[in-house]
Amino acid sequence: MSDYPHPIIAREGWPFIALAFIGAIAVHVYLGWAWAAFPWFIALVVLQFFRDPPRLIPTELGIVVSPADGRIVKVEVAHDPYLDREALKISVFMNVFNVHSNRSPVAGRVEKTWYFAGQFFNAALDKASLENERAAIHLRTSEGHDVTSVQVAGLVARRILCYAKEDQLLTRGERYGFIRFGSRVDVYLPTDAIARVAVGDIVSATETVLASFA
């Protein structure tokens, strides 16, 4: 995909990757391979964490794609605290080995954005959705469907990056944010949306269909 607008290694990771590799090289040069083995391992772990490969976007009409790589930990009817409504909630938990670039689950206009500083509980816990650091966007599709996508920091994550702005038009699967070092994304949909994943499923950002609109 030559028109992919982002590097294979996410730009958010460049400073971390540079520091990790400089440290590994320095230890290797001054102390030798035996001492440098662990720093090199850490450098490779950091490199893989910030990978950001291009994804194929499904063309099926009326679908919601996964905003993140990971494992489905919630598929339930729950209260959407951002739009104050009952909604179908689907949560994707990302571990440190997943790609942490976040993609828009639908094509639509960004109606509103929120940011809340918070705690750093394990992102797999229910209370993380309401108590951890988080950033949310409200998207409205051209068909009038309201979708809330919420980036939630995790136990290790300490920085949510959300680039979406109010009135911005996002395309399905468009990259709009990044969470560093472990996290989750909650998606709130109209209650008549039909879930196409189940708890425990492994999903890929953009390429996996989470739900479809009735």
Rounding to the nearest 10 degrees, give the CA dihedral for residues 190, 62, 94, 7: -140
Residue 130, pLDDT score: 66
pLDDT band at 156 (very low <50, low <70, confident <90, very high): low
pLDDT band at 104 (very low <50, low <70, confident <90, very high): very high
> H helices of 32-82, where?
33-49
Rounding to the nearest 10 degrees, give the CA dihedral for residues 43, 48, 50, 52: 150
pLDDT band at 158 (very low <50, low <70, confident <90, very high): low
> In this predicted model, what pLDDT tens digit does every residue of 55-96 receive, in sequence order?
899 999 999 999 999 999 999 999 999 999 999 999 999 887
- Each residue of 158-171: b (16+ CB within 10 Å) or e? eebbbebeeebebe
Per annotation, catalytic residue among 101, 149, 183, 204: 183
> In this predicted model, what pLDDT tens digit does every residue of 12-56 receive, in sequence order?
888 889 999 999 999 999 999 999 999 999 999 888 888 888 889
- Residue 212: pLDDT over 50: yes
- What are the C-alpha distances in Å from 63 to residues 38, 100, 160, 209? 44, 22, 26, 7
> What's the predicted TM-score (pTM) here?
0.84
Residue 2, pLDDT score: 42
> In this predicted model, what pLDDT tens digit does every residue of 119-143 receive, in sequence order?
655 555 565 566 678 899 999 999 9
Residue 128, pLDDT score: 54
How long, in residues, is the chain? 214
pLDDT band at 1 (very low <50, low <70, confident <90, very high): very low
Among the listed residues 53, 46, 49, 52, the one whose alpha carbon sits nearest the alpha carbon of residue 16: 46
Hey, which of 103-112, 121-130, 171-180 has the most confident mean pLDDT? 103-112
Interacting residues of 108 by C-beta distance below 8 A, sequence separation 6+: 139, 140, 141, 142, 145, 147, 169, 170
pLDDT band at 181 (very low <50, low <70, confident <90, very high): low
Active site residue 183: yes
- Residue 99: pLDDT over 90: no
